[in-house]
Amino acid sequence: MILIFGSTHDDVSYFEDQLKNKATEKIFGKYDLLTGTMFNQNVGIIYGGFTNYISAAIVSRIIAKNYVVLVINVGKGSAYGDGLKNGDAVISRQVYLGEVNQTGIQDAILGQIPRCPQSFVVDPYILETLNNSLNKVVRKNNTKIGTYVSVEKVLHSPKDLEGITSSSGVIFGHKEDVIVDSVTGGIALACYLNDTPFISIEIVERHIGEESTVNSLINVINRYSEIGKAVTSFIGEITSNSVIGGK
């Protein structure tokens, strides 16, 4: 199974329309997992995990019950730095857990859970394949490959990230290509612990410190069909390659 994960129904509605042979089951009695086929590949679609805690739990439960070969997170996030703008599609290169700090009591560096890596790195083949699919559908100046930082709070100002940023504004060694959300870190952790590949692609809704507006949200939603087409093409491409298969 390839699992597509979103925070809201808008994030995944495009993929629901593409799915054939649909069936639904409950996860934790609260979240609907829609299953079916796409390019003769079993695909699961789920939404509703708004935090890393929930996304990690949902993904772990689904992996435990199914043979999951890849998890794809879709949705929207906030930009940190000037390298991203509203409407940009950003593919994850690597993911950091922004609120983990075990440096005082464990032999760990900032952002690192002991016995886990500091950052969860996306498989290069999966990254390249999704990027190629994206660039066939979306204008190239609206696509980026960036660093994800996952936190558990709404960020109203760049000062909310002071604990993990340097005096020059660098966050985990990055500045211009950083997107912040609240779910990808949990997905990355669950996939790491279960030895399952993952990737995230999100649309920039706003910069941290800016208010969300109706126009910025509409711009994100208008991009969802393009992202849906790219991810669907990616699933077809990656399924036909022997590197990713499954039932």
Average pLDDT over residues 72-81: 94
Domains of the chain: 75-240 (3.40.50.1580)
247 has pLDDT over 50: no
Label the pairing between strands 198-207 and 89-97.
antiparallel
Distance of CA 24 to the CA centre of its chain: 23
Average pLDDT over residues 110-129: 95
Give the range among 143-157, 159-173, 194-208, 233-247 with minimum mean pLDDT.
Answer: 233-247
What single-letter amino acid sits at 177?
A: D
What pLDDT does 38 receive? 95
Mean pLDDT of the chain: 92
As given in the structure block, the two tokens for residue 205 are 């809704």
Residue whose C-alpha is closest to residue 74's, from 107, 49, 109, 57 = 49
Q: Model confidence over 17-64: pLDDT tens digits? A: 999 999 999 999 999 999 999 999 999 999 998 999 999 999 999 999
For residue 228, give every residue at least 6 positions away whose Cβ sits within 8 Å of its Cβ, in sequence order, or none. 14, 15, 18
246 has pLDDT over 50: no
CB atoms within 10 A of CB 20: 10
Report pTM: 0.94
68 has pLDDT over 80: yes
Confidence tier at 244 by pLDDT (50, 70, 90): low
As given in the structure block, the two tokens for residue 171 are 């966050």
